[in-house]
Amino acid sequence: MKRNLVDGEWLPAADALENRSPADVSDLVGLYARGSSEDVDRAAAAARAALPDWAATSPQQRADILDRVGAALLARADEIGRLLAREEGKSLAEAKGETLRAAQIFRFFAGEALRVSGDALASVRPDVSVDVSREPVGVVGLITPWNFPIAIPAWKTAPALAYGNTVILKPAEQTPASAHVLAEILADAGIPKGVFNLVMGQGSVVGEAIVGHPSIDAISFTGSVPVGRRLAVEAARGLKKVQLEMGGKNPMVVLNDADLEIAVQACLSGAFFSTGQRCTASSRLIVEAGIHDAFVDRISECADALCIGNPLDPTTQIGPVVSRPQLDSNLRYVDVARDEGAEVVGGEELGGATEGFYQRPALFLNARNDMRSSREEIFGPCASVIKVGDFDEAVAVANDTEFGLSSGICTSNLKFARAFRQSSEAGMVMVNLPTAGVDYHVPFGGRKGSSYGQREQGRYAAEFYTSVKTAYEFAG
Ligand code: UN1
């Protein structure tokens, strides 16, 4: 059994999680410790005890450790990518790309550890100076989802450590292997005991224990809207700082003047790659009437040609859905879309050479924005195609959602591109690019029901992972 890492020790657990590949249920990736609330207690005590020394380390020491983690991820990207593809189901190319992204994130934050800065001002009072500096928030609990099993743990852990916090990471139950490798790499890189703790297990046990723990100061969570909402309430009870990244129903607008091939490829990749299992996925394709039919013909043809199969086969473009319950939920939404009057192309469950959870990507044609299938996040390879009359209607439909993570527009007209950037109620806007697939060195996050609290990634990560102190000094 792969163990939890608590206070520098690899701790066994009474119970184990079976990690099986969604591409082939006979492929047992491994048995992973299923932690308890006592494990969280121990991890929290260790993280609290380790905090003063870690916060006081020189930035060079933190940078060196993070840099070593980045180098190890880079050196082992093939092997880790393969493990990730087995446990999550995304294609080998995507899994390796994700591992490289995790490596780059660690290297970026190695640099950021050296660039923690503040402000020095003159006070409004004579002979007094004011100094604003950043300090760690404290012990942080990180709760991560299954769809990016190494990149999301990396983009929460790296800034947390860079800014001097100590960490308890709880990865998703479906994908503990990638986070476990990350923990091994951190331990090998010389992270002091108690500074980084890994507690794998169930959300209802380990996640709940982290959120309610009195010695955890801040929680960063990526996952579903219902869990995020409950977590925010619970965290508020304990007055914890909280950062939530949740769902999306991201619009991609295609205008009449768009380059058809750019638009189709952006929509195809945004909607269906990573099996549509991204909070940034394009799930509403909002298409102007003049290009609508040509767009539908071409995207249907391209979707049909996608190679769906075992992620370990290098020709596979789209892997399986992550689990049986997720596939069942996707299939229910396909029925909902049909019942609501959309014309469904694809979407059926597929058999394969191995027993897994395969689904053909689905387009819901002639959809309306008020349909359930256009409003609720499906988190699978399903996209609604909504026809609109002009740019203004496209913007209104794009913004008519309770979410606001990412949005996109395909157009060759600079005026429309600029107007869309300004009026889109999303945290991230893409022009002639897919809504999914973001850079690692700039802020990530959304508005409305998609996100809560400060942005992740880039220099903005400091807003969540540090607390500012204002110090006044009288020269005397
Ligand atoms: C991306 O689109 O590159 O859970 C990343 C998610 C997001 C990450 C998306 N937090 O899907």
- DSSP secondary structure string, 182-218? HHHHHHHTTPPTTTEEE--S-IIIIIHHHHH-TT--E
The pLDDT of residue 476 = 81
Q: Is 145 in the pocket of ligand 1 (CB under 6 A)?
A: yes
The answer to whether residue 472 scores a pLDDT higher than 90 is yes
pLDDT of residue 29: 98
Q: Report whether residue 151 contacts ligand 1, using a CB cutoff of 6 Å.
A: no
pLDDT tens, position by position, 152-202: 999 999 999 999 999 999 999 999 999 999 999 999 999 999 999 999 999
Which whole number is the average pLDDT over 121-143? 97
Nearest to 389 by CA among 272, 462, 287: 287
Helices (H), 11-131: 37-55, 59-75, 77-88, 92-113
What mean pLDDT comes out for the span 453-466? 97
CA distance 150 to 171: 9
Tell me the β-bridge partners of 245.
222, 451
382-388 and 241-245 beta bridge pairing? unpaired
The Cα 77–Cα 319 span in angstroms is 19
Q: Give ∠ CA 190-167-210 in degrees, rounded to 5.
A: 145
Residues 194-238: tens digit of each pLDDT: 999 999 999 999 999 999 999 999 999 999 999 999 999 999 999
Q: Which of 112, 173, 245, 456 is catalytic?
A: 245
Residue nearest to ligand 1 atom 3, measured at CA: 437
Assigned CATH topology for domain 4-246+450-474: Aldehyde Dehydrogenase; Chain A, domain 1 (3.40.605)
Which fold is adopted by the domain 250-431? Aldehyde Dehydrogenase; Chain A, domain 2 (3.40.309)
From 279, 377, 410, 456, active-site residue = 279
Total residue count of the chain as it appears in this document: 476
What pLDDT does 352 receive? 79
User: Which DSSP helix (H) or strand (E) runs through 293?
Assistant: helix 289-304
CB 231 within 8 A of CB 203: no
Given pLDDT bands bounded at 50, 70 and 90, which one contains residue 418? very high
- How far apart are the two ends of the chain, measured CA to CA in Å? 63
Which residues 6+ apart lie within 8 Å of 449 measured at CB?
225, 246, 247, 402, 403, 404
Structure tokens at 71: 């180098």
Whole-number Å distance between alpha carbons of 416 and 194: 52
| Token duo for residue 63 | 């940078």
The stretches of 56-91 forming alpha helices (DSSP H) are 59-75, 77-88
- β-bridge mates for residue 267, sequence order: none
Strand order in the sheet with 119-122: 119-122, 128-136, 466-474
Indicate the average pLDDT of the chain. 97
Rounded Cα distance, 335 and 373, in Å: 9
Q: Whose CA is nearest to atom 7 of ligand 1?
A: 279
405 CA distance to ligand 1 middle (Å): 10
CB of 245 within 6 A of ligand 1: the answer is: yes
Integer Cα distance of 388 and 260 in angstroms = 17
Q: Give the nearest ligand 1 atom to 456 CA.
A: 10
Q: How many CB atoms lie within 10 A of CB 386?
A: 26
Atom of ligand 1 nearest to the CA of 280: 2
> Which pLDDT score is estimated for 475?
86
Pocket probe for ligand 1: among 144, 148, 249, the residue whose CB has the most ligand atoms within 8 Å is 148
pLDDT of residue 420: 98
Domains 4-246+450-474 and 250-431 fall in the same CATH topology? no
Q: What percent of the chain has pLDDT over 90?
A: 99
Ligand 1 atom 1 nearest Cα: 437
pLDDT band at 273 (very low <50, low <70, confident <90, very high): very high
186 closest CA partner among 200, 199, 196, 176: 196
Under a CB-based contact definition with an 8 Å cutoff, are residues 240 and 217 in contact?
Answer: yes
Atom of ligand 1 nearest to the CA of 245: 10
| Top mutation candidate among 221, 249, 278 for ligand 1, by most atoms within 8 Å of CB | 278
pLDDT in tens, 337-388: 999 999 999 999 999 789 999 999 999 999 999 999 999 999 999 999 999 9
Per-residue confidence (pLDDT) for residue 51, from 0 to 100: 98
147 lines ligand 1 (CB under 6 A): yes
Question: What distance in angstroms lies between residue 147's CA and the mean position of ligand 1's atoms?
Answer: 8
**Which tokens hold the place of 34?**
């299923």
What are the extents of the domains in the chain?
4-246+450-474, 250-431
Catalytic site includes residue 279: yes
Task: Dump the DSSP string for 354-405.
Answer: SS--EE--EEEEEE-TTSHHHHS---SSEEEEEEESSHHHHHHHHH-SS--S
Residue 451 has what DSSP assignment? E
Q: Which atom of ligand 1 is nearest to the CA of 437?
A: 3
For the record, the structure tokens of 424 come out as 């889109």
- Kindly report, residue by residue over 26-75, the tens digit of the pLDDT: 999 999 999 999 999 999 999 999 999 999 999 999 999 999 999 999 99
The residue whose CA is least distant from atom 10 of ligand 1 is: 279
Q: Whole-angstrom Cα distance, residue 443 to residue 427?
A: 9
Q: How high is the pLDDT of residue 284? A: 98
Residue 245 annotated among the catalytic residues of the structure? yes
